[in-house]
Amino acid sequence: MYRLSTDVGGTFTDGVLLNEETGEIAVNKVSTTPGNPAIGTIQSIERFRVPLEEVSFLVHGTTVVINALIEGKGAKTALITTAGFRDVLEIGRSNRTEMYNALYRKPRPLVPRYLRLEVKERIGAGGEVLVPLDGAGLDPLIDYLKREGVESVAVCLLNAYANPVHEEEIGRLIRERWPEVSISLSHKITRRFYEYERTSTAVQNAYVMPVVQRYLRSLEEELGERRFRSDLQIMQSNGGVMTSTVAREIPIAMVESGPAAGAIGAAQLARLIGYDNVISYDMGGTTAKTSIIKNGLPETTDQYLVEGRPILLPVVDLREIGAGGGSIAWIDEAGALHVGPQSAGADPGPACYMRGGTEPTVTDANLQLGILDPDYFLGGEMAISPQLAREAIAKVADYFKISVDEAALGIIKIVNTNMSGLLQSMTVKRGYDPRDFALVAFGGAGPIHAAEIARELNIPTVIVPPFPGVFSAWGMLMADLRHDFTRTYIKLMEEADLAEVNRLFRELERQIRELFARENITPENVVISYELGLRYYGQEHTLDVPAPAELTALDRRRLAESFDELHLRVYGHNAPEEPKEIVSLKVIGIGKVKKPLLQKIPRGRKAPVPEARLGEREVYRGEGRYQKFAIYRRDRLLAGNAIPGPAIIEEPTATTVVEEGQHCSVDQYGNLIISLG
């Protein structure tokens, strides 16, 4: 039997196939098909030439949700909310996310005002019904939305987090009157009290729901025709996976599915080879992404922004910028050179791809400098043109009256500076010392730039895993199923009814177990954990503190002390004498799946075998100076081999650069361990 994963990126779609009996891994890359990403996914799967009836586990990561939100290509969506609250979506919060930008404008609501409708009802903050739902008043609203050609409806009522009875009734009435429309009920996604954020999340879920449902239906039909019989699994933003059946109802949970898989893979790999604290660094064709892994676990956040719009769901805490291999170099009105965030993407791609692209990109610059071998791009499967890369970069060179080589080096220096700033935003600016971490570099372009960035930030070690260009897809095979359920419960710690807290914990646990049962996860493979969202009385923001499954009076002091310690670590100060307040209860369910084992490679001597070294290549280093880099083929390296810089290590999915003064060793699993020296 086989396990298979596919990851749709902005430029390439990656595939990883694991033979469960032998542990052998096969990988491939195909160009992403932006018009219908399912086509590229099927192309990747078919290249493995394995009957899909022999595939026991297939997990898929996709950019379809994030692309729909960023490009504004979701469904025509309406919002139904409590009378008097139709403008919550537009009012938002009073804080400015870009304080010093005089031209800043709040993000445009995904639902225009004429499609934001109100119903008469009111639930109290304690869950009591204050004003019964006017169900009869819903009929003219449905007729109006039908006439307007609405495809999807978000329902978010005031205080539905406390009691969803009115939302459930509205959902039932709409399904009876209008069965073909997509419906997103806020309480099905999150039961937290933040009014604006909850509305924004429900609306974004509704906005992408028809797009995702069509996409998954198309993909499942293609898989069914190829006799795939198991459940299609979808990577979630929280680092877990879910079945496509669940993904249809909560598609917003897929917003960062591919990047989250990279963080999970980095965490699992680092733990297996003895690193607790690492920075994941993923540079693909369109963006560069990073996350922090502390004590073997990726850091998560309960809120995420896409185009300035909040999503109130747990997500692996990622930062990303438009800095990938396809990022375009351009000159602004003042004559300054920039790189990204615009990208050539998969179509037309960088100029060197010979698909009609004419703008200079990072890939073109690396080719011009001598980092990339034009005869071994994607292992020789894809032809690229050094001449077209040179012609594109010549536009920059001519503007600044410098050589083409110098212009290419300038492009690389700018993109490296941008990425160093990205890593600093996740470390130094959050109180972490980069010297305490190792850097796990992957993505098609990540290993090219990682050593230079690590040197700039004094990160002592860079880890480049096998098949780094498809590492996010490998990370999906390491991910368990996961569901996070949260409920608002606001009480002072000393006044909280622990019997009620325990009852709510059991209710959330029951919902999670029912979901896992739908996903065919047996009870013995389910692991449940509990957390309390705590804050000092009078604060706005909370911190999550692990809690026991059954709270007793003795736990009040222990939880308060844990919160004080956590507050000190995160913010640098605490106030143990202040009363603590419970704001939310969270239950996290992990459905364990079988994970691939890392395969050891044969051991060799310190010096690589002669056939591993292909020769030398001159690389431009600036000011008219060229330097010879030793060239190695990665699949010919053995455990224990040591390679001094400067060197370039080539493989089909990526190229790794070892800078002068650095040393690269090969560990027992084939990872490249680069020490800054």
pLDDT reading at 468 higher than 70: yes
Fold of the 481-591 domain: Dna Ligase; domain 1 (3.30.1490)
pLDDT of residue 565: 92
Task: Check: CB of residue 59 under 8 Å from CB of residue 477.
Answer: yes
Q: Which residue has the higher pLDDT, 151 or 428?
A: 151
Given this model, what pLDDT does residue 299 score? Answer: 87
pTM of this prediction? 0.85
Residue 297's Cβ-count burial label (10 Å; 0-12, 13-18, 19+) is: middle
Backbone angles phi, psi at 616, to 5 degrees: -135, 155
Residue 643 has pLDDT above 90, yes or no: yes
**Closest of 156, 197, 423 to residue 308, by C-alpha:** 197
Q: 185: helix, coil or strand?
A: strand
Taking residue 103's Cβ as centre, other Cβ atoms within 10 Å add up to: 5
**In the numeric block, which tokens belong to residue 452?**
């230079």
Alpha carbon distance 199, 196 (integer Å): 5
- Has residue 408 got a pLDDT over 70? yes
Question: Which span out of 279-288, 292-301, 494-503, 518-527 was modeled with the highest average pLDDT?
Answer: 494-503
For residue 10, pLDDT beyond 80: no
Closest by CA position to 674, among listed 664, 666, 334, 92: 664
| Mean pLDDT (whole number) for 39-44 | 92
Q: Which region, left, alpha or beta, applies to residue 431 given φ > 0 means left and ψ of -120 to 50 means alpha?
A: left
Predicted pLDDT of residue 438: 95
Q: What is the pLDDT of residues 117-163, one digit of tens each?
A: 999 999 999 899 999 999 999 999 999 999 999 999 999 999 999 99
Cis upstream peptide for 646 (omega within 30°): yes
**Higher model confidence: residue 94 or residue 422?**
422
| Torsional sign, CA 344, 349, 353, 355 | negative
The gap between the terminal CA atoms of the chain, to the nearest Å, is 44
Q: Would you list the DSSP string of 382-399?
A: S---HHHHHHHHHHHHHH
**Domain 259-319+423-476 bears CATH identifier 1.10.3470:** no
Could you state, in order of their start, the residue ranges of all structural domains in the chain?
69-212, 259-319+423-476, 327-414, 481-591, 610-675
Q: In whole angstroms, what is the distance from residue 138 CA to residue 488 CA?
A: 28
Of 314-318, 517-521, 579-583, 649-653, the range with the lowest mean pLDDT is 517-521
Q: What is the pLDDT of residues 253-285, one digit of tens each?
A: 998 887 889 999 999 898 889 998 999 999 988
* pLDDT at residue 677, as a whole number: 66
Token pair for 256: 């960062």
Of how many residues is the chain composed? 677
Q: Which helix (H) or strand (E) holds 320?
A: strand 318-321
For residues 195-201, average pLDDT: 95
Tens digits of residue pLDDT in 471-492: 999 999 888 888 888 999 999 9
C-alpha angle 154-111-102 in degrees, rounded to nearest 5: 135
Query: pLDDT tens, 163-194?
Result: 999 999 999 999 999 999 999 999 999 988 88
CB-based contact 647:641 (threshold 8 Å): no
